Structure 1
Amino acid sequence: MAQAPATSANTSPTDPASTALAGSWRLLSYDVEVKNTGEMFPPMGDRPTGYVMFAPEGRVWFVLTGEGREAGETDQEKARLLETVIAYTGRWRIEGDTWITAVDVAWNPAWVGTEQRRQFKLDGERLQVLTPWRVMPNWADKGETRSIITFERARETR
């Protein structure tokens, strides 16, 4: 995949990488890769749904939901729904091939006030996003993992 051009830390809406990312992207896949073994698995099922939207004014919205979600009725069922959603928003900027979000609202309060860094690659109408390698609490027994999230440019019609 071709990478977006490098840009400065103070990315403006007219920078090539920002212009290339601006708009809506529909989720195609969400996989996790295990560093030690190369194993890949879909933590939210084979058909998760989601979008990422990059506003040229500098705000990003990201939402990803797991396959087969159903409304919860009990408190426990409702709480379990949090295991199959990722959602946040904040100001975004580009540094080289990294998209950085200064999170100000999130499904997980621990993310608020943090900067989330994601390496990205653009290939035409496809956007691949990679999280840094780290030990995730959800599957700590696997060691270091990273998420590989693939989107395609959304072409909405009325």
Structure 2
Amino acid sequence: MENSLVGTWELLSWKNTDQEGIDEYPFGEDAIGYVIYSEDGYMSTSLMTANRPNFDTDDVLGGTIEERARAARTYVTYCGEYEIKDNTVTHHIKASLFPNWVGTNQQRFFEFKDEQLILSTPLIEINGKLQIAYLIWKRASQGK
């Protein structure tokens, strides 16, 4: 069976919807991100707010407590193995900026519509309330 997820996908939109139907864009409507699904069963994703401010230092492990906290609040990343069953992809998290996800399985529902990939979560706690995250992706193209 062909794995239609394989490849690199660029984020078009990340919207969370709460139980009352209220939408929010946690990283703004111009969030930036990629998700990569490899043929050998690994995946990686990175999401961030646009125009994140630089640290006052070029030291990759430096920065003030405030700079590092702001950087962590405006970025989501994780990677691991994945498996597909029907229209569900399960991410088996091996590394994550959010330490609570390491060693967990994160379920995502997927569908394809108008050449876009739509990933959605089950109802999960995001920013202190139960929400469903909807992420819309397009196939990435080089040389933009």
Normalization by structure 1: what TM-score?
A: 0.81
Structure 1: which amino acid aligns with 2:104?
A: T
What is the rounded CA distance, in whole Å, between the counterparts of 1:109 and 1:39 in structure 2?
A: 28
Deviates more, 1:73-82 or 1:46-55: 73-82
Cα deviation, 1:70-129, whole Å, max 9, x if unaligned, reads 123422121121111110110111011111011101111111100010001112420011
Normalization by structure 2: what TM-score?
A: 0.88
| Aligned-pair Cα RMSD in Å | 1.5
Counterpart of 1:149 (choices 132, 135, 142) is: 135
Structure 1: which amino acid aligns with 2:18?
A: V
What is the rounded CA distance, in whole Å, between the counterparts of 1:108 and 1:50 in structure 2?
A: 16
Deviates more, 1:121-130 or 1:82-91: 121-130
Q: Which runs of 4+ in 1 moved over 2 A?
A: none
Cα deviation, 1:35-56, whole Å, max 9, x if unaligned, reads 22x1111110110101001000
What is the rounded CA distance, in whole Å, between the counterparts of 1:135 and 1:154 in structure 2?
A: 29
Count, aligned residues:
137
Counterpart of 1:48 (choices 19, 22, 31) is: 31
Counterpart of 1:29 (choices 6, 13, 29) is: 13
What is the rounded CA distance, in whole Å, between the counterparts of 1:116 and 1:47 in structure 2?
A: 24
Q: Is contact 1:71-1:78 (8 Å) kept? A: no
Deviates more, 1:71-80 or 1:124-133: 71-80
What's 1:139 paired with? 128
What is the rounded CA distance, in whole Å, between the counterparts of 1:133 and 1:82 in structure 2?
A: 23
Structure number with higher strand proportion: 2
- Where structure 2 has 5 or more consecutive residues not aligned to the other structure, the ranges are 57-63
- Where structure 1 has 5 or more consecutive residues not aligned to the other structure, the ranges are 1-14
- Offset of residue 135 of structure 1: 3.1
Structure number with higher helix proportion: 1
Percent identity among equivalent residues?
A: 28
